[in-house]
C-alpha cells in the first residue's frame, strides 16, 4: 500500500464530501482510496439523511393529537445515537485509512460494498491487494 493512497483515503474522510468526490472523480484508478472515499461519502449521506428522515416522521406524527409530538421528541434520541455511531465510524475510517487497512466502518460500511462478482472486475483484480478484493467481494 503506497503512502499516497493512504493519505488520499485519509483526506477523503477528513474533508468529507469534497474529499470523497475528489478521490472518486480524480483518482478512481486507486482502488484503496476509492474504497475509503465511498465509505466517507456514505457517512456524509447518513449524517444528512438521519435528521431529514426524523423531521418527516416527526412532522407526520405531530398531526396525531395525543402522543404524536412526544413520539417525535423521543425519536430524536435515535438521531443522536446515529450521529454518535457515525462519529465513531468516521474516526475509525481515518485510522483504517492511515494504517492501510481495508475494513468496513460501522453502520454504513456495508452500503459501499459493490454488488457485483469478482469476475466482472478484472481491472480491480490486477491493481488491488488481495485483501481489498476479499473485503469488497460479496459472499456467494
Ramachandran angles phi, psi of 13, nearest 5°: -80, -45
pLDDT (tens digit, 9 = 90+) per residue, 96-138? Answer: 999 988 888 888 877 777 654 444 444 444 555 565 655 555 5
97 versus 65: the higher-pLDDT residue is 97
pLDDT (tens digit, 9 = 90+) per residue, 2-15? Answer: 888 899 999 999 99
- Distance of CA 80 to CAs 87, 105, 118, 127, Å? 11, 18, 37, 40
pLDDT of residue 108: 84
Query: Percent of the chain having pLDDT more than 70?
Result: 80
Amino acid at each position: 500500500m503506497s503512502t499516497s493512497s493512504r493519505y488520499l483515503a485519509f483526506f477523503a474522510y477528513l474533508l468529507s464530501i469534497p474529499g470523497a468526490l475528489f478521490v472518486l472523480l480524480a483518482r478512481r484508478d486507486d482502488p484503496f482510496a476509492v474504497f475509503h472515499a465511498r465509505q466517507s461519502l456514505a457517512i456524509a449521506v447518513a449524517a444528512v439523511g438521519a435528521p431529514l428522515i426524523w423531521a418527516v416522521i416527526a412532522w407526520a406524527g405531530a398531526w396525531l393529537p395525543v402522543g404524536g409530538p412526544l413520539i417525535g421528541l423521543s425519536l430524536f434520541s435515535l438521531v443522536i445515537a446515529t450521529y454518535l455511531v457515525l462519529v465513531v465510524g468516521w474516526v475509525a475510517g481515518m485510522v483504517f485509512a492511515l494504517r492501510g487497512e481495508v475494513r468496513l466502518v460501522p453502520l454504513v460500511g456495508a452500503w459501499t460494498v459493490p454488488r457485483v462478482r469478482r469476475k466482472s472486475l478484472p481491472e480491480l483484480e490486477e491493481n488491488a491487494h488481495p485483501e481489498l478484493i476479499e473485503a469488497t467481494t460479496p459472499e456467494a
